[in-house]
Each structure stands twice: as C-alpha cells, then as structure tokens.
Amino acid sequence: MSAPTPPAMPTIRPSSPWRDYWVVTKPRVTALAVFTSFIGMLLVDTRFPPMSIVIGGCLGIALLAGASFAMNCLLEAAVDARMKRTQRRPSAQGRLSTMQIVLFALLLGALGSAVLIVTTNVLTWALTLGTFFGYAFVYTLYLKPNTPQNIVIGGAAGAMPPVLGWAAVANDVSAPALLLFLIIFAWTPPHFWALALYRQEDYEKSGLPMLPVTHGRDFTLLHMLLYTWLLLAVSLLPVAIRMNGLIYGVAALLLGLRFVQLVWQLRRDYSDAKSRAVFRFSLTYLAALFAVLLADHYLRF
C-alpha cells in the first residue's frame, strides 16, 4: 500500500505592499486624531464651518499624522519586533525598508503641509507639523525609552488634534481649545497604562521603562486612579466657563464616575481581563464625551 498523502500546508499569502504602507500610518490612531480634530472645528461656532476647511483640515491632519506614525514605526522597529502586540508590523518584519518608509513619510508630510496651508492657515500647519514632529522624534527617541513618565509627557502630542481643528477654523488658540487639550491630556495616562498592565510582559521584553515595569502594578493603579479623578474634574471645566451646559455636564459627570469606578475596581481586584475592559471603556468614554460635548454645543443655541 502507498504511504498516506500528508495534509497540504496552508498557503501563506504575501502581504500587499500597499497594505504595508497603510499599516505603518496606524490608521486607527490617525482616525481618532481626525475625529477629535473635526470636533474641534465644529465647536468654534454654531454655524457649520466651510466645507473646504473641514475637508482640507481633516485631510491635512490625517496625512501629517500618518507621516509621523510611519516614522515612529521605523524608529521603533527593533522594539516592535520584541513585542507580541507589534511584531507583525511591516517595519518590524522588514517588509518595508528604511528608505521606503522615509520617502513615504516625506511624501505624506509634504502633501499634508500643502493641503493645510492652502485650505486652512499657517497657524494650523505650524501647530500640526510641530505636534507630529514632536511625537515622531522627541517622544519616540527621547521620552519613551528614557522615562516611565513617557506617556504623561508625550500625551501632549496626542492631546493636540482638537486644538488643530479649532485653529483651522478660528485661526487662533483660545480657552475652549485648551480645555479640549486638557481633557485628552488627562485621559491618556489611565487609557494607556491599562493597556501597559495587561501587556506588561511585552514591555518587559521590549526594554521600555513603562510605569508597570519600573514601579510595579500597585503604583501604576494608584496613578491611574488619581488621573481618572483629575480627568473627571477637567471634563467639567467646559461647564464652569459656560462653554457647555447641563446636558454635557451630566454626561461628563456620569462618564467620569464610571471611569473612576472601573479603575477603583481594577485596583481592588486586578485581572488582565478587567484591565482590558478598562482600556476598552476608555475609548468609549472619549468618543462619547466628545459626541455629547458637540451635541450640547448645538442644542444650546
């Protein structure tokens, strides 16, 4: 009798180069930046901004964000290769060369700059360029590998998109824009530390001084709780300066208390599953808070 035929090995399809370029722009993070920028645009006035500014501003910010994230992937390729969460990135696996990523980032940056200058104003372009240059180089090269407070300090770059959207329409940066910045700035540490807690083993392998690695779980959970209280307080400031009204105030209070409750429960009885739940809720929290902030703004007028 003939030997049995071995089962066929599954075919591994090579990744599309176009998809690899798309992946290094971190499309989900870019989408969040564009979403909060769009909210910033709509909060300047009760009238809808000119479509040319909305489309051009969102596109330009997306392109410059994509350029920044591509450079971030390139500069962190060696670190990403050691982490399960990021080891499949094209930059970590070498599917895109250094030159390919650099040229791609330069192209996106040039296109984004041109779009912003033509459709918005120089202030928006300068702020956007500074924001994503700071993320790609200052945060990636100096903050992230050298201090456990990297997320706190580097959170300034992640908090800038609503300011960029505001500047695109108003051509200035006033108190309401700065409050939007403060909300995201206070939201970033508990959001990211929840991820870092259930990915602690990954960060230990990476060599990055993330807070759970350098100071332990309990210390990190205490700081998460403190930042969620800070976030609750900051999120109510738009009511205090009469930027928003009762609808937003009630929603911000309820969302903030729920965030505090989840982190409190996580600190009392930690599990990776609960940490994942906090991370997921943090995304829901930000989207819901900004959506209600926008709805309240238009319902009041």
Where in the chain are the domains?
16-173, 175-301
The answer to whether the beta carbons of residues 183 and 213 sit under 8 Å apart is no
The answer to whether the beta carbons of residues 154 and 141 sit under 8 Å apart is no
* 143 CB-side CA count, 13 A: 17
Q: What confidence category does residue 88 fall into, taking pLDDT thresholds of 50, 70 and 90?
A: confident
Nearest to 250 by CA among 299, 204, 289, 199: 289
Contacts of 145 (CB under 8 A, 6+ apart): 207, 208, 209
State pTM to two decimals: 0.88
The answer to whether the beta carbons of residues 276 and 255 sit under 8 Å apart is no
The answer as to CATH 1.10.287.610 being correct for domain 16-173 is no
Tens digits of per-residue pLDDT, 217-255? 999 999 999 999 999 999 999 999 988 899 999 999 999
Measured CA angle at 183 (ends 180, 188), to 5 deg: 125
Q: What confidence category does residue 15 fall into, taking pLDDT thresholds of 50, 70 and 90?
A: low
Q: Give DSSP secondary structure letters for 38-56.
A: HHHHHTS-SSPPPHHHHHH
The token pair that represents 293 in the structure block: 């902030």
pLDDT at residue 11 is higher than 70: no
Q: Which helix (H) or strand (E) holds 5?
A: none
Tens digits of per-residue pLDDT, 16-30? 778 999 999 999 999
pLDDT at residue 8 is higher than 50: no
Q: What is the mean pLDDT of the chain?
A: 90
Tens digits of per-residue pLDDT, 102-154? 999 999 999 999 999 999 999 999 999 999 988 888 888 888 888 888 888 88
pLDDT at residue 4 is higher than 70: no
Nearest to 166 by CA among 252, 51, 49: 49
Q: Which helix (H) or strand (E) holds 15?
A: none
Q: What confidence category does residue 185 fall into, taking pLDDT thresholds of 50, 70 and 90?
A: very high
